[in-house]
Amino acid sequence: MVPKFTGTVGKKFVKTLRRDNIFTAHFDKLGSSVWKQCDGAVTVKQILDVVTMEFPNEKDIDQRLFLFLQQLRALHYITFY
């Protein structure tokens, strides 16, 4: 579940419309595994290690992970430095 708005104006707008400020994001198995690990304490290397073990037959899993994390960041679902 992801918040639609994090700023004050967006939150007030949603409240005025009497709508939920969250939506459910749907991911494939790999994306779900990565999403569950994005808690702010786990490093990208640790996530890569886990998904490599969980999905041993996936090709270019490191590149897929990087692109997926970039997409999550672009959508403001996660932040990292």
* Statement: residue 33 has pLDDT above 70: yes
Cα–Cα distance for residue pair 59/71, rounded to 1 Å:
19
Question: pTM of the predicted model, to two decimals?
Answer: 0.72
Domain membership of residue 54 (yes or no) is yes
Examine residue 44 and state whether it is found in any structural domain, yes or no: yes
Q: What would the mean pLDDT of 54-73 be, rounded to a whole number? A: 94
Asked if residues 47 and 68 have their Cβ atoms less than 8 Å apart, the reply is no
Residue 38 is encoded by which pair of tokens?
């994005």
Q: Indicate whether 66 belongs to any domain.
A: yes
Supply the pLDDT for residue 12. Answer: 86
Expressed as residue numbers, the domain containing 15 is 2-74
Portion of the chain with pLDDT greater than 90, in percent: 54
Amino acid at 67: L
Counted domains in the chain? 1
